[in-house]
Structure 1
Amino acid sequence: MPQATLAAAESSPDGARSPGSDFAPLLRDVRAQGLLERRTGWYAVGITVNLLALAAVITGIVLLGNTWWVLPLALPLALLWARTAFVGHDAGHAQITGNRKVGRVIGLLHGNLLLGMNDAWWNDKHVRHHANPNHIDKDPDVGVGALVWTQKQAAQREGFARWLTRNQARLFFPMLLLEGIALKVSGFQYLKHQPPRERALSGLLLTAHLGLYAGLLLAVMSPGKAVVFALLHHALFGLHLGMAFAPNHKGMEMPDPDGDRWDHLRRQVLTSRNVRGAALTDWFLGGLNYQIEHHLFPSMPRPHLRLAQPLVKAHCQAVGLPYTETGLAESYRQALTHMHEVGAPLR
Structure 2
Amino acid sequence: MTEVATRSVTSDRSDPLGRAWVATAVRRIEADAMRSADTHLIRFPLPPGLGVELYLKDESTHVTGSLKHRLARSLFLYALCNGWLGEGTTVIESSSGSTAVSEAYFARLIGLPFVAVMPARTSVEKIDLIERQGGRCHLVADPSAIYDESRQLAAKTGGHYMDQFTHAERATDWRGNNNIAESIFAQMSLEEHPIPEWIVIAAGTGGTSATIGRFVRYRGHKTRICVPDPENSAFFQAWCDSDPLHRAPGSRIEGIGRPRVEPSFVGQVIDRMVTVPDAFSVAAMRGVQEVLGRKVGPSTGTNLWAAFGLLDQMIRAGRRGSIVSLICDGGERYANTYYNDEWVRAQGWDLTDPLAEVRTFLSTGAWAER
TM-score by length of 1: 0.27
- Structure number having the greater strand percentage: 2
Q: Which protein has the larger Cα radius of gyration, Structure 1 or Structure 2?
A: 2
Q: Which structure carries more relative contact order (alpha carbon 8 Å, separation 6+)? A: 1
- Greater fraction helix: 1
